[in-house]
Amino acid sequence: MSAFACEPTHPEMKKIAELERQMLNKWVVKLANSADQIVLGTVEDVVDTESGSEYSQIAVIKIERSIKGNYFNKIEALMLKKQANSNISNDDLVEEIPNCGALDPEKYSSEPYTGKLAKGIFYIKDGVLIRANEEPVFLPPLKPEEEARLIEGY
């Protein structure tokens, strides 16, 4: 017996993934339209903010290319908003998330965060990081044919 409430077939999972990508594309365009700055770059440093700030950290980004906004060599972006007495528990959030079907990234995305030396595209609005899409630091899984070739060689 499965632990999942729904068990989509492989073709259904593909449709769900395609729908999620469509929703992600729409959400990214919406964020891009609202952002003041969109840059390609590398995070040079992540530093703590002063105690009076409503954000915990600042990402210092070395800009390689400016896509939207004024061009600078570096830009700083606030991130990790300090939570003050949140009324929503993690259990409540889990109950809200549908257990089958595509997830809307606008509703279910987490607060953007980046780490030192991360390379990617960064969206900034009013000095706050609103999206970070970074190059993955891990290798993608082997495709079935790649894995077959690997084990056939031994």
pLDDT of residue 140: 84
Q: Comparing 70 with 154, which gets the higher pLDDT?
A: 70
What residues have CB less than 8 Å from 19, skipping those under 6 apart? Answer: 102
pLDDT, tens only, 15-36: 988 999 999 999 999 999 999 9
Q: What are phi and psi of 15, to 5 degrees?
A: -65, -40
Residue 4, pLDDT above cutoff 70: no
Query: What pTM does this model have?
Result: 0.77
Q: What is the CATH number of domain 36-99+107-152?
A: 2.40.50
DSSP 56-102: EEEEEEEEEEEEES---SEEEEEEEEPP-S-S--HHHHHHHS-SSSP
Residue-averaged pLDDT of the chain: 85
